[in-house]
C-alpha cells in the first residue's frame, strides 16, 4: 500500500529578540531569504507584517517530515536573523501589539471590508495537507473527519496570552479566528458537487472576497490535490507538529476507507461541533473534551486515546502507530505549548521571557 503524502505549513511571529514584541519586518525577512546565499525552503508572507509562513515538501514518512520542519524553521530563523529579528512559534503574541496589514491589494481589501477583525488578527496556525485521489474522495474525507477536528486543536493549544494578559484559554487563537464569517465548523457536503454548491453560494453572498477566504476548519486545497486541515495552533515543539500530521493523515486514510466501504458520515450538528471546539480551545489537554459519538465530556486522555483507536489501522499501515503513541504520551505528560508559556510566565513573572523561550524552542 502506498502511504499518502503529507505536508505542513507553519506560521510564525517575527519578534524583537530583546523586548519580545512583534515587529513589522516580514518584507525585509523575505528579501533576506531571496538573496543568493539564502536558504531555498519556501518562505512567504502572511496577513500581517509581523508574521511569516514556511512550508514543507510533501513526504511519506514522519522521519522525513520532522527533518523538513526543522529545515524550514532553520531557514526562517536564518532569514530573520539577517535583519536582526527572531522567529517564535507562538500562535498569538503574549505581549500587547497593534499589527500592521501586509501591503498587498488583497490584504488591504480584507482590512477595508472586515475592519477590526483584520486589525487584531495576528494569529499563527499550522495547516496540514494530505493527498487525496480527486475531489470526490476529498469531500468524503471532509465529511467524515468532522468529529475529530476539535481534539486536534486541543493537542496543539499554544496561545494562552492575548494583548498582555492570560486569556484563560489554551488556544485563544481558536477564539480569535472564529471572528471571520467564513471560519470554523461545517455541515457535511455529500459530494464534490455539494461542496462546490456551498462554495458558490458563499461567494454569491458577496461577503467573502474569494475562495481563499473559505476559512473552514478543513477544506479542499485550491492549489494542491489535497485536503487541508486548518484547525491547529502552530506548535511550539516541532515534534508536536509531526504528531498532528500523523493523526491528520491517519484520519484522512480512515475516512477514505470508510467512504469506500459505504460507512456513512456522522451527521452530528455543526452547533455541537462548535461546542467541542470551544472546549478544546478553552482547556486543551488539561481538562475534559467532548467524546465524538457520545458527545459527552470525558478526560482529554480518554478522547485522544479514542482518536488513536479510531485511526489505529491506518497508523499501523503507515508505520506510525508507535511514534504516535510516544509523541502523544509526551504531550499528555508535559502539556502543550500553552502550559510551557504559563510556566515560564509564572516562574519569570515576565511575558518577554515567554517570547524568548519560545524563540529558543523554535
pLDDT given at position 35: 61
Q: What does the angle CA 88 – CA 94 – CA 100 come to, to the nearest 5 degrees?
A: 75
b/e map of 19-34 (b: 16 or more CB within 10 Å)?
ebbbbbbbebbbebbe
* Spatial contact of 241 and 235, defined as CB atoms under 8 Å apart: yes
pLDDT given at position 40: 42
Task: Indicate whether 141 pLDDT > 50.
Answer: yes
Interhelix angle 238-260/135-145, nearest 10 degrees: 110
The residue-averaged pLDDT of 121-148 equals 98
3-state secondary structure 27-64: HHHHHHHHCCCCCCCEEEECCECCEEEEECCCECCHHH
Q: Tell me what the pLDDT averaged over the chain comes to.
A: 96
The residue-averaged pLDDT of 92-116 equals 95
* Spatial contact of 113 and 181, defined as CB atoms under 8 Å apart: no
Task: Indicate whether 138 pLDDT > 60.
Answer: yes
- Per-residue pLDDT reduced to its tens digit, 16-48: 999 999 999 999 999 987 764 444 458 999 999
- Per-residue pLDDT reduced to its tens digit, 226-240: 999 999 999 999 999
Q: What is the pTM of this model?
A: 0.96
pLDDT given at position 348: 86
CA dihedral 27, 25, 218, 73 (to 10 degrees): 100
- Which residue shows C-alpha cell 509562513? 53
The residue-averaged pLDDT of 332-357 equals 96
The residue-averaged pLDDT of 118-138 equals 97
Cell reading at 168: 484563560
Q: What does the angle CA 7 – CA 231 – CA 152 come to, to the nearest 5 degrees?
A: 85
What does the domain layout of the chain look like in residue ranges? 6-361
Beta bridge partners of 51: 13
Cell reading at 14: 517575527
Name which of 168, 151, 329 is nearest 250 in CA terms: 151
Say if residue 47 is exposed, middle or buried (CB neighbours under 10 Å; 0-12, 13-18, 19+): buried
pLDDT given at position 38: 45
CATH of domain 6-361: 3.30.590.20
* Spatial contact of 97 and 20, defined as CB atoms under 8 Å apart: no
The residue-averaged pLDDT of 73-83 equals 96
Task: Indicate whether 244 pLDDT > 90.
Answer: yes
Q: How far apart are CA 247 and CA 237, in angstroms?
A: 16
Q: What percent of the chain has pLDDT over 70?
A: 98
- Per-residue pLDDT reduced to its tens digit, 103-114: 999 999 999 999
Cell reading at 192: 464534490
* Spatial contact of 15 and 89, defined as CB atoms under 8 Å apart: no
pLDDT given at position 39: 46
Q: What percent of the chain has pLDDT over 90?
A: 95
The residue-averaged pLDDT of 302-324 equals 98
Cell reading at 241: 507538529
Q: Is residue 11 helix, strand or coil?
A: strand
Question: Which of the residue ranges 43-47, 84-88, 179-183, 276-280 would you say has the lowest mean pLDDT?
Answer: 43-47
* Spatial contact of 167 and 123, defined as CB atoms under 8 Å apart: no
Amino acid at each position: 500500500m502506498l502511504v499518502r503524502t503529507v505536508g505542513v505549513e507553519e506560521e510564525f511571529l517575527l519578534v524583537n529578540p530583546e523586548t519580545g514584541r512583534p515587529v513589522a519586518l516580514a518584507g525585509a525577512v523575505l528579501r533576506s531569504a531571496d538573496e543568493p546565499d539564502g536558504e531555498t525552503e519556501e518562505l512567504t508572507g502572511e496577513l500581517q507584517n509581523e508574521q511569516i509562513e514556511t512550508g514543507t515538501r510533501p513526504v511519506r514518512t514522519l522521519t522525513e517530515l520532522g527533518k523538513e520542519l526543522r529545515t524550514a524553521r532553520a531557514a526562517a530563523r536564518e532569514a530573520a536573523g539577517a535583519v536582526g529579528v527572531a522567529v517564535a512559534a507562538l500562535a498569538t503574541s503574549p505581549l500587547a501589539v497593534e499589527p500592521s496589514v501586509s501591503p498587498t491589494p488583497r490584504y488591504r481589501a480584507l482590512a477595508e471590508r472586515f475592519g477590526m477583525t483584520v486589525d487584531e488578527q495576528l494569529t499563527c496556525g499550522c495547516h496540514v495537507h494530505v493527498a487525496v485521489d480527486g475531489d470526490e474522495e476529498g469531500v468524503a474525507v471532509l465529511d467524515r473527519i468532522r468529529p475529530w477536528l476539535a481534539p486536534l486543536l486541543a493537542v496543539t493549544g499554544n496561545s494562552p496570552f492575548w494583548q498582555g494578559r492570560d486569556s484563560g484559554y489554551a488556544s485563544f487563537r481558536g477564539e480569535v479566528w472564529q471572528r471571520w464569517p467564513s471560519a470554523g465548523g461545517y455541515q457535511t457536503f455529500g459530494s464534490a458537487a455539494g461542496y462546490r454548491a456551498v462554495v458558490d453560494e458563499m461567494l454569491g453572498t458577496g461577503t467573502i472576497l474569494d475562495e481563499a477566504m473559505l476559512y473552514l476548519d478543513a477544506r479542499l486545497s485550491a492549489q494542491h490535490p489535497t485536503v487541508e486541515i486548518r484547525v491547529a495552533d502552530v506548535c511550539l515543539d516541532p515534534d508536536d507538529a509531526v504528531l498532528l500530521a500523523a493523526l491528520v493523515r491517519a484520519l484522512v486514510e480512515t475516512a477514505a476507507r470508510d467512504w469506500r466501504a459505504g460507512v456513512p458520515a456522522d451527521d452530528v450538528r455543526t452547533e455541537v461541533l462548535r461546542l467541542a471546539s470551544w472546549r478544546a480551545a478553552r482547556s486543551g489537554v488539561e481538562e475534559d473534551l467532548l467524546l465524538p459519538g457520545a458527545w459527552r465530556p470525558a478526560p482529554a486522555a480518554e478522547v485522544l486515546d479514542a482518536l488513536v483507536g479510531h485511526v489505529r489501522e491506518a497508523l499501523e499501515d503507515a508505520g506510525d502507530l508507535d511514534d504516535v503513541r510516544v509523541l502523544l504520551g509526551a504531550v499528555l505528560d508535559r502539556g502543550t505549548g500553552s502550559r510551557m508559556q504559563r510556566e515560564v510566565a509564572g516562574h519569570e513573572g515576565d511575558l518577554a521571557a515567554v517570547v524568548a523561550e519560545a524563540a529558543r524552542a523554535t
